[in-house]
Structure 1
C-alpha cells in the first residue's frame, strides 16, 4: 500500500470516537438514557469507498475473478481468514474482492471484520456474494446460475439417529425436525433469528436480468452425459439463470430423503414462499453479519445480491437411487469448471452495470429500492416479515 494512504488511516485510529449523526448519513444515531448508552462509530477517515465488493468463499471461487479483473492492490486488515488475509482492489478501488473461508464461522467472522475496519466506508457499497453450490435437479443443472431472494438455515434443528426412528415413527421422512417441535412437518417454535434472511427482490431481479443475457459455459462432455441421466427438464437442460433460493448448512448432505425434507422445511419456514434450489455453507452467516452492520450504518443490506452457480447435483439420478453413498463419494459428474466460470460470466454484467451507472442510478440506490421485506426474523432493519408464525418463541 502507498505510504501516503496510511496517513489518514493512522489519523483515524488516533481520533476515532463515537459521533452523533443521523443514520441517513451512513452512521447510526446514538440513543442515550440515564441507564444505557448506544453509540455508533462513523468512519470519517476511511481510505477506501468501493462501489462493488465481490465475496468468494474459497480459493477456487476466487480465481476466476482474479484472472478477469484488474486487481492491482492488496490490502490486509485484522480479522480476515488466515488462509485469505488479503483484500484485492482494482486500480481506482471501485471494485474490491474478499475471500471469507468456507463454512458459517469463517463467513461471519470475515464479513464482520471487513465491516468494522476503519479503512473501509461500505455504507454505499454493493455486494455480490458469488459462490458455487449443490443444485436441485427440479430447478437447475450443472453450471446453472441461481439468484436468491431467501436464504434458509438448515442446521438449527433437532436430529435423532434414523435407526432410532424407523421402528417407532415410520411415517417420518427425516430424522431432522425443527427446534421446539415434535415432528418434521411443524413450524419451528424456538427461533434464534438466523433461520431466514430475505433479500432485496428488486435488486436481485436486476442482477438476474443482466445475467440472463450473458453467454454461459455449458460445461464438459461428461457434464452433458450426466445431466442426461436425470428425468427432470431443468436437470437435462443446458445451464440457465434462475430465481430460486439457497439453503445454508455446514454439513454436506445428499440424497432424496434429505433434499425432500429441506425443500419442505424451506417452504414451511417461509410461509410457503421459498423455492429451495441450491445448498451451500455460508450465506446465512454472511447475511447475519450484514444485518448487524446495517443496523449501525456500516453497510447497506439493501445492496446485497446472493448468486450461486451449480457445481453438482444434491440428489442421485434414478440409476443410482439405491446407492447414494457411491453417488456422493466416488461419482464424477464431469467437473465443476462450468460453475466456476459462470460466476464471472453471470456476475460481471451486474458489476459493470453498477460502475457504468453509478452516478445516475446506483449511488443513491433509489431505482432498485426493495418493495418486499428485507432482513431477518427479528425485524432488525424494520418492516414486517412475510414469513414467521404467531406461535414462535425467541430461544
Structure 2
C-alpha cells in the first residue's frame, strides 16, 4: 500500500478515535515570533510504537493551568490551530498549535485533579505522538521571600507534594503538642519531624537537572518585566535581601498543595517538610497547586513510552509572596493588601520561557531530537523508582498506602 494511502487511512482512523474533533485556524496575531522561532526542517511523520495513527508531533508543549497563564502565550506565539481533545477540562477544551504544529499549548484547569486528568487525556490521545516532545510547565506561584521576589522566575529540580498529611485544628493539639509548627502531621507517624510512614508515591518528583540548567542559562539572557512601583514598595517591606531585589532567574524548588496556604507558620512547616521529604536536597521557594499531579501523569505515560519524563521542565514565576512582611499580619496581608505582582509574573512566563522553546526548535536536528546532550545525569522520577534508578530521597523502607 502506498504511503499516502496509509496516511489517509491513519488520519481517518485517528480522527474517528478522537471524536469529537474540531480543527480550525485562529487569526494570526500581530506579535507572532516567526523570525525568532523558525519552521522545522523535518516535518515528517514518525509515530511512536504505541500510536501508529498519530498525526501531530510537536517538538515543544507549553502547559498552562488557567487562562491568565495561557493568554500571554497565545498573544506572543503564532498559535493558529485549535484542536479539541476529549478528556480535557470542560472549561479549556482546546489545544492550540503553531502553523506547522511544532509548538502546542494546553490549559489543564487549576488544581491537582484537573492537571492530572488533562495531562493524561493529552498523553493518551491517538492524534499526538509525544514521545520526543519537550514539555514546559509554565505557571505563576507564591514565592518565599528568602529565595525569590515578585516577578521572579523559578526553575525547579524537585516538586514536593505537601498536602498529603493528617491535619488537626489548633485547639485540638496545642495543649498536648505545644512545639508543633502547625496542625499537619505526615501520614503514618505521630510527629512532625520524621519522614512519613505511609506514602502514596506522589510526594516527591525529581526532574532532569541538566535540562533545567539549560533552561536557566537561556532564561538569564531575557530582559524581565521588573514590575511596578507598588511591587517595589512591597519588596522593600521585607528584611530578606533577595525579596528586595529586582526579579531574576532562580534555581529552587516548588511545593504542590490544593490548599492555598499563606503565613509564617505554614510556610515554616512546609519548608521543613520539603527538607524532610527530600533528605535535605530541595529548597522550597515557590508554591503551586498542580505540578506533582502533572508529573505523576507524565511518569505513568513515560512508563509506556508515550512521553519522555527526561524532557519535562518546571517553571514558576512569582505573582505574590507566600508569607507577609514583618510589618503586616497574615490576615491583613492576604485579604486586604494588593501585592500587584500578577502582571510581571505573567509577562515573565513568556520572556523567560521562550528562550528554551526557541533553542529546542532551532537546534532540534543537531541537539534536541536525540536528547543526548541534555539528558539527565541525576535520578529522575518518583519515590518508587518507577522509571528506573534509585531515588536520592525518601528512606529505605516505608508502607505504601
Flag whether TM exceeds 0.5 (same fold): yes
Cα distance between partner residues in 2 of 1:144 and 1:246: 13
Cα distance between partner residues in 2 of 1:82 and 1:176: 33
Q: CA deviation at 1:262?
A: 0.4
Cα distance between partner residues in 2 of 1:97 and 1:12: 20
Cα distance between partner residues in 2 of 1:222 and 1:6: 57
The aligned residue for residue 124 of structure 2 is 116
Cα distance between partner residues in 2 of 1:268 and 1:14: 48
In the alignment of these two chains, the number of paired residues is 368
Cα distance between partner residues in 2 of 1:386 and 1:15: 41
Q: Pick from 64, 73, 79: which aligns with 2:72?
A: 64
Q: Pick from 185, 197, 202: which aligns with 1:194?
A: 202
Q: Pick from 97, 106, 111: which aligns with 1:89?
A: 97
Residues 269, 53 of structure 1: alpha-carbon distance in 2 compared, 3 angstrom cutoff: same
Q: CA deviation at 1:374?
A: 0.3
Residue by residue, what CA displacement relative to the aligned partner does 1:18-39 show, whole Å, maximum 9, x if unpaired? xxxxxxx954xxxxxxxxxxxx
Question: Does structure 1 retain, via aligned residues, the 8 Å contact 2:151–2:341?
Answer: no
Question: Does structure 2 retain, via aligned residues, the 8 Å contact 1:203–1:305?
Answer: yes
Cα distance between partner residues in 2 of 1:281 and 1:172: 24
Cα distance between partner residues in 2 of 1:319 and 1:96: 44
Residue 357, structure 1, aligned to residue 357, structure 2:
no
The aligned residue for residue 305 of structure 1 is 313
Question: Does structure 1 retain, via aligned residues, the 8 Å contact 2:48–2:129?
Answer: no
Structure 1: runs of 5 or more not aligned: 17-24, 28-41
Q: CA deviation at 1:14?
A: 7.5
The aligned residue for residue 333 of structure 1 is 339
Structure 2: runs of 5 or more not aligned: 1-6, 19-46
The aligned residue for residue 38 of structure 1 is none
Moved more, 126-135 or 324-333: 324-333
Question: Does structure 2 retain, via aligned residues, the 8 Å contact 1:9–1:45?
Answer: yes
Residue by residue, what CA displacement relative to the aligned partner does 1:245-285 show, whole Å, maximum 9, x if unpaired? 00000010001010010000000010110000000000000
The aligned residue for residue 35 of structure 1 is none
Question: Does structure 2 retain, via aligned residues, the 8 Å contact 1:55–1:128?
Answer: yes
Q: CA deviation at 1:335?
A: 3.9
Question: Does structure 1 retain, via aligned residues, the 8 Å contact 2:253–2:282?
Answer: yes
Residue by residue, what CA displacement relative to the aligned partner does 1:76-130 show, whole Å, maximum 9, x if unpaired? 0100111110000000000000000000000000000000000000000000000
Moved more, 67-76 or 5-14: 5-14
Question: Does structure 2 retain, via aligned residues, the 8 Å contact 1:9–1:118?
Answer: no
Moved over 3 A (4+): 12-16
**Secondary structure of 1:318 counterpart:** coil
Question: Does structure 1 retain, via aligned residues, the 8 Å contact 2:212–2:313?
Answer: yes
Q: CA deviation at 1:326?
A: 1.3
Cα distance between partner residues in 1 of 2:295 and 2:12: 30
Cα distance between partner residues in 1 of 2:104 and 2:8: 18
Q: CA deviation at 1:390?
A: 1.8
Q: CA deviation at 1:8?
A: 2.6
The aligned residue for residue 31 of structure 1 is none
Q: CA deviation at 1:393?
A: 1.2
Q: CA deviation at 1:63?
A: 0.6
Question: Does structure 2 retain, via aligned residues, the 8 Å contact 1:221–1:334?
Answer: no
Question: Does structure 2 retain, via aligned residues, the 8 Å contact 1:12–1:44?
Answer: no
Question: Does structure 2 retain, via aligned residues, the 8 Å contact 1:152–1:248?
Answer: yes
Moved more, 6-15 or 179-188: 6-15
Q: Pick from 170, 174, 177: which aligns with 1:162?
A: 170
Question: Does structure 1 retain, via aligned residues, the 8 Å contact 2:319–2:340?
Answer: no
**Secondary structure of 1:250 counterpart:** coil
Q: CA deviation at 1:314?
A: 0.4
The aligned residue for residue 9 of structure 1 is 11
RMSD, aligned CA? 1.6
Residues 6, 254 of structure 1: alpha-carbon distance in 2 compared, 3 angstrom cutoff: farther
Cα distance between partner residues in 2 of 1:229 and 1:11: 60
Residues 14, 136 of structure 1: alpha-carbon distance in 2 compared, 3 angstrom cutoff: closer
Residue 382, structure 1, aligned to residue 388, structure 2:
yes
Q: CA deviation at 1:15?
A: 9.8
**Secondary structure of 2:250 counterpart:** strand
Residue 368, structure 1, aligned to residue 374, structure 2:
yes
The aligned residue for residue 301 of structure 2 is 293
The aligned residue for residue 351 of structure 2 is 345
Q: Pick from 94, 111, 115: which aligns with 1:103?
A: 111
Match runs of 1:184-333 below 5 Å: 184-320=192-328, 323-333=329-339
